[in-house]
Amino acid sequence: MSIPLTGQTGPSDADLIAEINLLRKAKNAVILAHYYQDGKIQDLADFVGDSLDLSRKAASTDADVIVFCGVRFMAEVAKILSPEKTVVLPDMEAGCSLEDSCPADDFAAFRARHPDHISLTYINCSAAVKTHSDIIITSSNARHIIDQIPKDQPILLAPDQHLGGYLAKETGRDMVLWPGSCIVHERFSEKELIKLKTENPGAPIAAHPECPAHILNHADHVGSTSSILKFVLESEAETFIIATEPGIIHQMQKSSPDKKFIGAPGMDGECNCNQCPFMALNTLEKLRDCLRDLSPVIEINEQDRLAAKAPLDRMLEMSPTMASNRPPTSGRAY
Ligand code: 13P
Ligand code: SF4
Within a domain: residue 256? Answer: yes
Residue having the nearest C-alpha atom to atom 5 of ligand 2: 276
Q: In this model, does residue 333 exceed pLDDT 70? A: no
Say if residue 125 is in the same domain as residue 81. no
Strands (E), 101-203: 118-122, 135-137, 155-158, 175-177
Instruction: Find the mean pLDDT for residues 12-21.
Output: 97
Instruction: Find the mean pLDDT for residues 40-58.
Output: 93
Tell me how many degrees the CA angle 17-19-22 measures, rounded to the nearest 5: 110
User: Between residues 58 and 118, which one has the greater pLDDT?
Assistant: 118
Q: Which atom of ligand 1 is nearest to the CA of 228?
A: 3
Single pTM value for the model: 0.93
Count of helix runs (H) and strand runs (E) in the chain: 15, 12
Ligand 1 site residues, Cβ closer than 6 angstroms: 50-51, 124, 138-140, 182, 208, 210, 224-225
Instruction: Give the ligand with the smallest distance to the CA of 125.
Output: 2
Q: What is the CATH number of the domain that holds 39?
A: 3.40.50.10800
**260-295 per-position pLDDT tens digit:** 999 999 876 665 568 999 999 999 999 999 999 999
CA of 248 to the centre of ligand 2 (A): 13
Q: Are 99 and 107 in contact (CB under 8 A)?
A: no
Rounded to whole angstroms, the Cα distance separating 113 from 90 reads 38
For residue 269, what pLDDT is reported?
Answer: 64
Rounded to whole angstroms, the Cα distance separating 188 from 175 reads 25
Q: Percentage of residues in the chain with pLDDT exceeding 70?
A: 92
Rounded to whole angstroms, the Cα distance separating 54 from 51 reads 5
How many separate domains does the chain show? 3
Peptide bond connecting 4 to the previous residue in cis, omega within 30 degrees of 0: no
Q: In this model, does residue 318 exceed pLDDT 90? A: yes
Within a domain: residue 309? Answer: no
Q: In this model, does residue 77 exceed pLDDT 70? A: yes
CA of 145 to the centre of ligand 1 (A): 17
Q: Which atom of ligand 2 is nearest to the CA of 245?
A: 5
**217-262 per-position pLDDT tens digit:** 999 999 999 999 999 999 999 999 999 999 999 999 999 999 999 9
For residue 332, what pLDDT is reported?
Answer: 41
Within a domain: residue 313? Answer: no
Rg of the chain over all Cα atoms, to the nearest angstrom? 20
Query: Hey, how many other C-beta atoms are within 10 angstroms of the C-beta on 294?
Result: 16
Rounded to whole angstroms, the Cα distance separating 64 from 25 reads 11
* Domain end point (choices 129, 153, 177): 177
Residue having the nearest C-alpha atom to atom 6 of ligand 2: 96
Q: Which of 208, 117, 210, 111 lies closest to 160 in space, CA to CA?
A: 210
Instruction: Give the ligand with the smallest distance to the CA of 52.
Output: 1
Residue having the nearest C-alpha atom to atom 4 of ligand 1: 50
Within a domain: residue 314? Answer: no
Q: Report the chain's mean pLDDT, rounded to a whole number.
A: 92
Q: Which of 292, 327, 285, 224 lies closest to 41 in space, CA to CA?
A: 285
Within a domain: residue 205? Answer: yes
For residue 7, what pLDDT is reported?
Answer: 56
**For the ranges 5-19, 49-63, 65-79, 246-260, which has the lowest average pLDDT?**
5-19
**84-126 per-position pLDDT tens digit:** 999 999 999 999 999 999 999 999 999 999 999 999 999 999 9
Widest CA span in the chain: 70
Q: Which atom of ligand 1 is nearest to the CA of 208?
A: 3
Pocket test of ligand 2: the residue of 182, 210, 248 to mutate, having most ligand atoms within 8 Å of its CB, is: 182
**Residue 121's domain spans which residues?**
98-177
Residue type, 306: L
Residue having the nearest C-alpha atom to atom 2 of ligand 1: 51
